[in-house]
């Protein structure tokens, strides 16, 4: 997936809101980091009339959020609840290897416990990566619904103000017609910027770990491929790749947390 390909999808589907991984990929998984990079680049470019003119009329999504499922607070809540119920927690070893990367800013909590079953079925459909008997499914669904009944998000960039602890990803956008008018106005200013500096060198992992491929690191993983581990480590430690979303200077200005509070124009190099 390239910036141009995702811009094409955005302009066709016309989303008001996007979600993606944070700058560390949730943890230093190279595929997740690439997903973050492409998503942020496309978000910055989709509304620019001068970029990818062949990919459809410009459309600027109004918010982009980071999915924050693997927070330490959530994992610890599940771990403590399992032990209190006399059940073996699947997270003990994982917690013992947890490497601190700073606290995330959870801006949005969506109450959706009634849909956790549907969520799990969607995850199980990712058959080559997810073991139905794996860790992701060890915590009873009823316990998850009681202990942590929300899906959590971190606002990254928004063209409307972010109120403290939102309960709706579309908060502040008004009616669909009002949101569409903003998305095509061509004159938007960033109202909230929660981006953080990416790791220049993601935290090192143990030799026996890998980025979600061996089960030791990603307990829900179905298959292992230890032969790929050195290459995955090398990819993750090179930092974020630069994509085709304007000149190198423009891309650095957009991806840096120290940028002017107006979205820059990103023309094809």
Domain boundaries, the chain: 1-68+104-111+150-198+239-269, 89-103+113-148+203-238
- Mean pLDDT, to the nearest integer, of 112-129? 93
Query: Is residue 77 scored above 50 in pLDDT?
Result: yes
Q: What confidence category does residue 1 fall into, taking pLDDT thresholds of 50, 70 and 90?
A: low
Q: What confidence category does residue 101 fall into, taking pLDDT thresholds of 50, 70 and 90?
A: low
Query: Is residue 96 scored above 90 in pLDDT?
Result: no
β-pair type (63-67, 108-111) = unpaired
Of the two residues 250 and 51, the one the predictor is more confident about is: 51
DSSP assignments along the chain, one per residue: --HHHHHHHHHHH--SEEEE--TTTTTT-HHHHHHHHHHHHHHHHTT-TTS-GGG-S----SEEEEE--S-HHHHHHHHHHHHHTT---TTHHHHHT----------EEEE-GGGHHHHHHHHHT-TTTB-TTSGGGTS-HHHHHHH--EEEEEEEEESSPPPSSBS-TTTT--SHHHHHHHHTSS--B-SEE---PPPSSPPP--TT--SSSSTTTSTTB----GGGHHHHHHHHHT-PPP-SSS-HHHHHHHHSSS--SBPPP----
Tens of pLDDT, residue by residue over 48-71, are 999 999 999 999 999 999 999 888
pTM for the full model? Answer: 0.75
Query: Is residue 127 scored above 60 in pLDDT?
Result: yes
168: Cβ–Cβ under 8 A, 6 or more apart, which residues? 108, 110
Burial readout 62-84 (b: 16 or more C-beta within 10 A, e: otherwise) = bbbbbebeebeebbebbbebbee
Structure tokens at 223: 């298959």
Of the two residues 246 and 199, the one the predictor is more confident about is: 199
Distance CA 119, CA 124 (A): 9
Distance CA 24, CA 210 (A): 15
- Mean pLDDT, to the nearest integer, of 164-183? 97
Average pLDDT, the chain: 78
Q: What confidence category does residue 28 fall into, taking pLDDT thresholds of 50, 70 and 90?
A: confident
Q: What confidence category does residue 221 fall into, taking pLDDT thresholds of 50, 70 and 90?
A: very low
pLDDT at 130: 86
pLDDT at 135: 84
Of the two residues 157 and 71, the one the predictor is more confident about is: 157
- Mean pLDDT, to the nearest integer, of 90-111? 86
pLDDT at 244: 36
Backbone angles phi, psi at 209, to 5 degrees: -95, 165
pLDDT at 264: 36
- Mean pLDDT, to the nearest integer, of 91-105? 81
- Mean pLDDT, to the nearest integer, of 64-88? 94
pLDDT at 245: 36
pLDDT at 95: 86
Distances (CA, A) of 34 to 1, 28, 37, 74: 9, 10, 5, 25
Query: Is residue 260 scored above 60 in pLDDT?
Result: no
Query: Is residue 173 scored above 50 in pLDDT?
Result: yes
Mean pLDDT lowest among 88-92, 96-100, 120-124: 96-100
């Amino acid at each position: 997936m390239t910036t141009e390909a995702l811009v094409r999808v955005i302009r066709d589907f016309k989303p008001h809101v996007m979600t993606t991984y944070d700058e560390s990929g949730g943890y230093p998984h190279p595929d997740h980091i690439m997903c973050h990079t492409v998503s942020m680049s496309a978000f910055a470019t989709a509304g620019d009339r001068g970029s990818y003119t062949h990919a459809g009329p410009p459309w600027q999504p109004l918010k982009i959020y980071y999915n924050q499922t693997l927070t330490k607070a959530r994992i610890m809540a599940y771990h403590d609840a399992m032990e209190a119920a006399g059940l073996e927690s699947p997270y003990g070893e994982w917690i013992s290897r947890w490497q601190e990367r700073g606290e995330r800013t959870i801006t949005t909590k969506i109450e959706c416990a009634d849909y956790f079953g549907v969520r799990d079925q969607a995850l199980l459909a990712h058959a080559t990566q997810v073991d139905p008997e794996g860790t992701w499914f060890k915590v009873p669904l009823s316990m998850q619904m009681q202990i942590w009944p929300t899906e959590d998000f971190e606002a990254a960039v928004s063209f409307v103000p972010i109120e403290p602890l939102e309960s709706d990803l579309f908060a502040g956008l008004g009616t669909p017609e009002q949101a569409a008018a903003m998305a095509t106005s061509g004159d938007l200013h960033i109202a909230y910027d929660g981006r953080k500096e990416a790791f220049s060198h993601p935290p090192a992992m143990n030799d026996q770990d890998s980025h979600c491929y061996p089960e030791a690191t990603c307990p829900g993983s179905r298959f292992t491929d230890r032969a790929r581990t050195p290459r995955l480590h090398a990819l993750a430690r090179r930092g974020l790749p630069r994509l085709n979303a304007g000149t190198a200077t423009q891309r650095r200005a957009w991806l840096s947390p120290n940028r002017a509070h107006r979205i820059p124009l990103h023309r094809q190099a």
